[in-house]
Structure 1
Amino acid sequence: MVRYSKLPFRELVRRYNCDIVYTPMILANVFSASNYARDSEFSTNLLDDPVVIQFAASNGVDLANAAELVSPYVSGIDINCGCPQKWAIQEKIGSHLMSDPETVRDMIRMTKARVNVPCSIKIRIHKDLRETEEFVKRALSVGVDFITVHGRTRRQKSTEPVNLEGMKLVKEVSTVPVIANGDVFSVADANQIVEATNVDGTMSARGILENPALFAGYDVTPWECVEDYVDLALSYGTNAFIFHHHLMFMLEKSMSNAERRTFNSLTTTPAVIDYLEEYYGLDIVRRRVERAEQKIKTFQL
């Protein structure tokens, strides 16, 4: 979720039955060294709870420094051991760490010595699942608080099915909660994975970008969810690139090819708003009234 789970989106998915939300992956060394990076990469408020901040790091010092700065404002620190992008592997972060369990072990140990919030890891599986078992045991030995497992190796494409046996093994080995990640595009997908692996929960990335109301049981993004996102994004001052791309993800399945080409070519926030008002009846004021009425009814009940 690099770039795409900033505060407005996190607040949106909380409205649609998400229990825990994560920040985008943030580079720990840059975060700890730069006020500008801290201001641009992380923002929160009282509604943003529980929130887990996810860091990418190549060593324990960088991670612990970043974790100590942010720990008063978050519910957990997560170490990304899963990003498969080439630049991340070259920087010895992300899924590179799946081949370096001792570094991960040191990062957990050093971070837990500096902060009083849970420390988790998000991992992938190995081609040889015995390596995954050993990796998990080393993390457990230094007190990792929970584990999220993406059921693919770092070299597998997202079009390949997740390895349920691999995720099940992580759960069987673990003495802490385990969350499964990968191929969660509906509540039915989540339930199937839980049934097959006995994990404690499921996470969605691609699926929830396409449909932020996924965990509320919607098969496609409901229009009111789109309006909610526009309202939140404008209120928080989301930049045009992120704003546009979130809406591209959300509307992809409801647009024709011609509509997608037109919408995807828009380059400014006003152009996006004008398009949605003209062709989809976007009405933020009406949506705000509806949400206020819903809150009143809930309070009365």
Structure 2
Amino acid sequence: MDFWQNTLGAPVKIVAPMVDASELAWRMLSRKYGAQLCYTPMFHSGLFARDPKYRAEALATCPEDTPLIIQFCGNDPEVVLEAALQAQDYFSAIDLNLGCPQAIAKRGRYGAFLQEDWPLLHRMVNLLSTNLKIPVTCKIRRLETIEKTVAYAQMLENAGCKMLTVHGRTRDQKGPLTGLADWSFIKAVKQSVKIPVIANGNIQNLQDLERCLTETGVEGVMTAEGNLYNPAIFLGRNPPSWKMALEYLELTEKFSCPNSYIRGHLFKIFHHVLSLTENNDLRVQLGAANTLEQFKNISNKIKISYEKYHKGLSIWPHSDNYDMTLPPWLCQPYVRNTASASLAVNKRQYEDPEGNPISRKKMKKLRRILRRPEKLDSRPANMEKCCQCQNPLGSKCHYRLCRKCCRDKCFLENLDCEGHRILVRTRREMAKSYALQKLIK
């Protein structure tokens, strides 16, 4: 409890770690509107430990961005420890992601797909707790039964976990099967451990947060989607979407981030207003936008279209046909239909500019072309093929091969290719010369 009280400042309103979404600019916007604790996005411990560029991007923060916890994923205790040792001077704690349910986590064997391997998790948490000068925390999902979930939490506490975030959904509750989080599991965990417990799941507004605190008895409440759709969730406000968007865009000028992050945030902030048929063109424009100026122009177009209705200067003509409590231009939760969560969901249909049905893959390609038309135009119309495969020929390759075939040829025949900058023969000769010099000495 000392860690939660003294180091973190007893935070109650917490922004979840979100891949491609809880970057520095978004954290600073969230803190402005009431967030008391933020997490970095999840970082891969192996990449963090060995890639300086990846590590530098992960360490992006500022003096006002506190308290801040960095989250790692991984399945090798020594590698996770190596990453944590390089990060511990910059953060309040190290969090282990033991709750990610996505397919990439299954392929990489991390996140929620480690929850059956208790010996490995005990070793990992204990190794971090023993060797770090800052606390280690964990984020988990509930298991099939309350009893097993409680035992899981107690195992992590005994291993050295100093704070536990419990998501009230199982590993299988995702996508169309998301459903509702079960707070009774979180309450049971809170009553069975001595460390601080953070609740996660079903937090769409400030009233949900207060109700969760009362029903579970936890120290704090974490939200992800609630924060993405309404950055002012912790103040109980529903501001105009363009206000949040323009404030966020100003922060991205100070704290730069990839355009894909910005586009994703704007789609969430403008979700309800862009879902209106009258704004189909704006939705397409946002999907193709690739500069800060374009993002600002779209935000200002929405402001110009709806500010007069927001201020009461005009009456919105579609108000009788809109079945939501709040008008669509305000930041508000996106609520899924949980009643049909276990039923098959119809896939979204995509169309090209002429209205012909196309696949999702084709639609993504068209959007990429819209964002970077100059990249498509710069490609040669009739590119020559490699002599050994169907890949494009390297324009400066002496052997008239693609890079892969050229690399294989150089390796097998002890050759160099200046065009591809493949220097197999040169490097082998350098290695022999170095070994000979070392032998002579």
Q: Does 1:49 align with 2:75?
A: no
**Does structure 2 retain, via aligned residues, the 8 Å contact 1:32–1:65?**
yes
1:83 counterpart residue number: 100
Distance in 2, Cα, partners of 1:280 & 1:69: 44
Name 1:297's counterpart in structure 2: none
Does 1:264 pair with 2:290? no
Q: TM-score with structure 2 length normalisation?
A: 0.61
Q: Per-residue deviation at 1:235?
A: 1.9
Aligned-residue offset at 1:227 = 2.0
Change (3 A) 1:131 1:19: same
Which one is further off, 197-206 or 108-117? 108-117
SS at match of 2:131: coil
Cα distance in 1 for residues equivalent to 2:79 and 2:134: 17
- In structure 2, what is the Cα distance between the partners aligned to 1:60 and 1:243? 34
**CA, structure 1 residues 169+263, in 2 after alignment: closer, same or farther (shift >3 Å)?**
farther
Aligned partner of 2:425 in structure 1 is: none
8 Å contact 2:70–2:95 — kept in the other structure?
A: yes
> Which sections of structure 2, spanning at least 5 residues, go unmatched?
1-17, 306-441
1:118-133 alignment to 2 at 5 Å? Answer: 118-133=135-150
Shift in alpha-carbon separation, 1:61–1:258, aligned structure 2, 3 A: farther
The answer as to whether partners of 1:210 and 1:221 remain within 8 angstroms in 2 is no
The alpha-carbon deviation at position 15 of structure 1 amounts to: 0.4
- What corresponds to 2:412 in structure 1? none
Give yes or no for the alignment of 1:165 onto 2:165.
no
**Radius of gyration: which is bigger?**
2
Tell me the amino acid that sits aligned with residue 167 of structure 2: H
Paired letter, 2:112: S
User: How many angstroms apart in 2 are the aligned matches of 1:212 and 1:133?
Assistant: 32
| Aligned partner letter, 1:4 | A
Structure number with the higher helix fraction is 1
How far apart in 1 are the matches of 2:194 and 2:300? 51
- 191-200 vs 251-260, greater mean Cα deviation: 251-260
**Is 2:110 aligned against 1:99?**
no
Sequence identity of aligned pairs in percent?
Answer: 29
Amino acid at match of 1:243: I
CA contact (8 A) 1:185 1:207 kept: yes
Counterpart position of 1:285: none
Amino acid at match of 2:197: V
- What is aligned with 2:197? 178
Shift in Å, 1:263:
4.2
Corresponding residue for residue 293 of structure 1? none
Query: Which stretch of structure 1 is more off in the superposition, 128-137 or 263-272?
Result: 263-272
Residue identity matched to 2:71: Q
| Partner in structure 2 of residue 291 of structure 1 | none
Go from structure 1 to structure 2 and tell me whether the alpha carbon gap of 1:221 and 1:101 turns closer, same or farther (over 3 Å shift): farther
Q: Is 1:32 aligned to residue 52 of structure 2?
A: no
The Cα of 1:213 is off from its aligned counterpart by 1.0
Deviation at 1:281, TM superposition (A): 5.2
Q: Deviations over 1:58-86 (max 9, x none)?
A: 12111111111011000111000000011
- The CA deviation at 1:140 is 1.1
Q: 2:79 aligns with which of 38, 43, 62?
A: 62
Aligned residue identity for 2:91: V
- Structure 1, unmatched stretches of 5+, are 283-301
Letter in 2 for 1:12: L
RMSD: 1.7
Give the corresponding residue for 2:416. Answer: none
SS in structure 2 of the partner of residue 113 of structure 1? helix
Contact persistence 2:183–2:216 (CA under 8 A): yes
Alignment partners' CA distance in 2, 1:14 and 1:223: 18
Q: Alpha-carbon deviations, 1:182-228, whole Å to 9, x = none?
A: 11110111111111111111000111111111111124665432222
Output the amino acid matched with 1:38: R
- Choose which of 297, 305, 320 in structure 2 pairs with 1:274: 297
